[in-house]
Structure 1
Amino acid sequence: MTYETSKPSSPVAADGLVPSSGRRLRWNKVPEVTVYFWIIKVLCTTVGETAADLLNEKAGLGLTGVSLLMSALLAVSLVVQFRTRSYRAGVYWLAVALISVVGTLISDNLTDNIGVPLETSTTVFAVALAIVFALWFWRERTLSIHHIDTTSRECFYWLAVLFTFALGTAAGDLVSERMGLGYWLSAVLFALAIAAVAVAHFALGMNAVWAFWIAYILTRPLGASLGDYLSQPTADGGLGLGTVVTSGLFLTVILALVIYLTVSRKDVALAAEAPSAHAA
């Protein structure tokens, strides 16, 4: 799903004032939403699912140990991301890959270690995400991903990303368990849901902000279903490639695409003028 927006050079908010949420940067800190964005996003989501399983089961770290390790790595990557002055493909997508693992682990910990029902965790994550969006809008008067050009907006952006991964994990597991579709059919179901969002946006005029974030949430269970289908044993409905091969395959593709984008800079954009409060 690619969204276009006008990009005047003046950093003025919807109310005509420059927000006091931090010094503006000339460059947007996140990539343009192109086909490359969605491909890498799904691949990172798949790696998040398979890598979490790999570290938990193969490395013998246990769910708690893996959670602590990946949270520490995520914290380091976000420090680097926040310290950059503009979007850097390698730094940004490393943070996304790590946050996909951490988001998965948050949901898994609630379900497996604490015994929280998936219905409850799905609701909690949905409410948490709604609160992040409400605070983001209240402070910045826009939820646009084309204007992640202050520290405040970047904080809200990454909080929203974290909760979309956690919500997508819980909701995806809930749907899969309740419907019992199996990995392949689950992937088809979520792909069709994303296609429906695209049609609603491009053909029916659905708000670009909500179209983006709904699709962003749905890519999590889509990627998880694809990862499970490739990695799980054939007896369980998968192709039996294993988590090592699946993770390695997708990481290779991600790395190739990130290198291409780093060289070509096809997904780099200037920070745009903040539009009306409901624009993308």
Structure 2
Amino acid sequence: MDTFHFQYRHNQVYRSWCDLVCKDIATVMTPAQVPALPISFFKTHRVVTTDFEPPLYFESSGTTQTVNSRHWVKDPDIYRRSFTHAFEQFYGPVPEWCIIGLLPAYLERQHSSLVMMVDEMVKMSGHTAGGFYLYEHEKLANTLRQLEAARQKTLLIGVTFALLDFAETHPQQLEHTIVMETGGMKGRKREMTRAEVHEQLCTGFGVKQVHAEYGMTELLSQAYSKGEGRFYCPPWMKVLVRDEEDPLHVQTSGRGLLQIIDLANLYSVSFIATEDVGIVYEDGSFEVWGRLDHSDIRGCSLLVV
């Protein structure tokens, strides 16, 4: 609630939106009552809390026909702390891992929050075999074989279409490697359900579960799934659900459109109404089923259930 009042006072775009949808701000008493800014505002407005010149910004992927979102970042260290603490909460200390990124579509453009996260974790890991791979599948396959032989804990985090391509051309049996998809078909392959994607990856890599990361340009936090597409948030992130017919009707659990609270977004806006459809369970975990039909095509919009 302190974050809400801080952003209402110092974020002109958010304050204008709140004044339109809420008759009396003083009546807002719970997180579910806090007005959520539609995520599309990141495409059309400079969404910032306090006045500052940002040292960097993150930009969403898209097509030449779409307008990309921009997230202006006042303090990059908040993002570093957020993704580091969240990862370690679910997987343990970063230095224990060898981090490998298979993110060709993201490496080929600038201002990707995902690339920054993986790059920083590669540096924190300090493992000599860690790093990024574009389309060097043979080199990546050899690296994974060496890491497996050394029984090194490894994270292979990749965009979905690249992981599918790699699993098809270089199948392996991975025992000490976690395969984590970040979404992202980008029209490269036919539309597939998450279950189909994970079945192919499990077969190609010989793993029982495929992990997943849920994040987006407009956030500074990530949720993680260790299998079956069910995501869990770090303590400073929460997912609510709003009714498709009545966007002001928000609940802590149920089916509908996902609404995210990300307290790491201190200097943009922490309360965001996404265009993702899914379910939020009573324990706070959630699943993503897809995106509203009218939404722009984005990095993970073709990975639907």
- Give TM-score, length-normalised by structure 1: 0.24
Please identify which structure carries the higher strand content: 2
* Structure with more contact order per residue of length (Cα contacts < 8 Å, sep ≥ 6): 1
Please identify which structure carries the higher helix content: 1
- Give TM-score, length-normalised by structure 2: 0.23
